[in-house]
Amino acid sequence: MTALTTGTLVPDFTAAMTSGKTFRLSDFYGKQALVLYFYPKDSTPGCTTEGLDFSASYAEFQAAGAEVLGISRDSLKSHENFKAKQHFPFELIADPQEQICQLFDVIKLKNMYGKQVRGIERSTFLIDQQGKLRQAWRKLSVKGHVAEVLAAVQAL
């Protein structure tokens, strides 16, 4: 599979998400820009901080015409618990089969406690109202990241 590059159309896909909803990329065409942030695991320190940062700026993303959605390989049940505990105002997409992760090429070999494991490389993607990938952030650091993404959304 070819990696998505900036300016290309992101293939339409569907996935289960929290609150009993189904995500469909094409539902956002012509309506809203979309921020998809991929994170390694529910309820871990870095992922919680990142989610809370997006949550704190959620109203600004909405005002700029963008929806924010988090994605990981965790189950819907895990996502529901994580979302409720942290009071996230946005939905989380479950990708236990890694289909969306593979589409965005975020599954990487990582070192964990001296062993190599497959996991999600923390990444964020900005998709415009036409379904084109406008910007990608990979191997990112949580601190300051949300402000950078918000600035890119506001510049659309």
Catalytic residues: 47
The C-alpha atoms of residue 55 and residue 51 are separated, in whole angstroms, by: 6
Contact between 16 and 139 (Cβ < 8 Å): no
Tell me the residue ranges of DSSP E strands in 28-144.
Answer: 33-38, 66-72, 92-94, 107-112, 115-120, 123-127, 133-138
Tokens 């065409």, residue located = 29
